[in-house]
A and B are shown apart, each in its own frame.
Chain A
Amino acid sequence: MDTRQTVAPLRPVKLFHRFANPGQFLRLSGKVLPWLYGAGVLLTAVGVIWGLFFAPDDWQQGDTVKIMYVHVPFAWLASAGYVSLAICSVLSLVWRHPLADLAAVELGPVGAAFTAVCLATGSLWGKPTWGAWWVWDARLTSVFVLFLLYLGHIALVRAFDDPTRGYRAGAILALVGVINLPIIKFSVDWWNTLHQPASIGLTGAPTIAASLLWPLLFTTLGFTLLFAAITIARTRAGVMERRIRMLLMAKTSEASQS
């Protein structure tokens, strides 16, 4: 008799379930986190120092262009964070995966804070450049709506006594809010906005000089890694706190039975 076992190839969904297991997640994230934090801090530091002290001023914006080295990464992460939230919501609604629920809960505050920084740094750039802290421009308004969606998600997932109902409601809100992402992206093309159109795209060459683009790429990548690291670390804490709650509940029920 052939005792060898045939090993079925891992399909993507099975692979996802394997690594989305909370125990596996804790082990894997524990190894990845120091590298993510380290690379994030290093790239951000290089980008910030380069942008502040070595990159030239823009011929039109002057020295306020230095604000772009932090504003653009936070604008990108505001949207990318929401895409991650939507992906977690799909995973939660389709596969009912508890890790996706926890990740969504932990993503909300980080995404909201990054969106708030995007709006604040935009304001700090707008005042000296446009002469106004805020204008109800299509791009600014749609990003503000994104901030409200994040706040709505944070409130909704914590609004129910039964956490599962909160997760479901939050997931539905997050998916409905996805409609705002193309509005943010194309607002500068669809409407006549004060906000300038995109300078970096997937299809065409960037319209920024290389001397300004490189530090921007460094800060964008650096802040993205930091965003990922913070979210993963918060999800780790969430997994541990849930384990603590379950253990305490089990101990309480044991004590009440005996």
Chain B
Amino acid sequence: MTHLPYIAASYVLALGVPLFFAIGTAFRLRYAKRRLAVIDPRGTR
């Protein structure tokens, strides 16, 4: 591969951005579920 740095950078971005969003959203969901459980236990059902 003669253009390895360009290809590697493209794949890092393309795989990293969805991964970043997926992890960020998982944390957001977990935090929201915990808060709902504290404020209103019905919210966790």
Contacts and interface: CB of A to CB of B under 8 A. Distances in A.
A226 B18 contact: yes
Interface stretch (A67-75, A78-86, A166-174, A184-192): A67-75
B14 A74 contact: yes
Contact of B39 (A223, A229, A236, A247): A247
A52 interface: yes
Interface residues of B, number: 27
Contacts of B26: 233
Contacts of B11: 48, 52, 70
A71 B10 CA distance: 8
A63 B1 contact: yes
- Tell me if B's interface is mostly helix, strand, loop or mixed: helix
A217 interface: no
Nearest to B7: A66
A52 B2 CA distance: 13
Contact of B10 (A125, A234, A243): A125
Interface string A204-236: 000000000000000000010011011001101
Contact of A64 (B6, B21, B33, B35): B6
Contacts of A247: 36, 39-40, 43
B13 A117 contact: yes
Contacts of B10: 66-67, 70-71, 120-121, 124-125
A240 B29 contact: yes
B43 A243 contact: yes
Contacts of A71: 10, 14
A114 B25 contact: no
A124 B14 CA distance: 12
A128 B3 CA distance: 7
A8 B20 CA distance: 45
Nearest to B38: A244
A124 B9 contact: yes
B7 A117 contact: no
A114 B33 CA distance: 27
B13 A120 contact: yes
5 shortest A-B CB distances, which residue pairs?
A70-B14, A240-B32, A237-B28, A233-B25, A121-B10
6 contacts: A113-B21, A117-B14, A227-B18, A229-B22, A237-B29, A243-B36
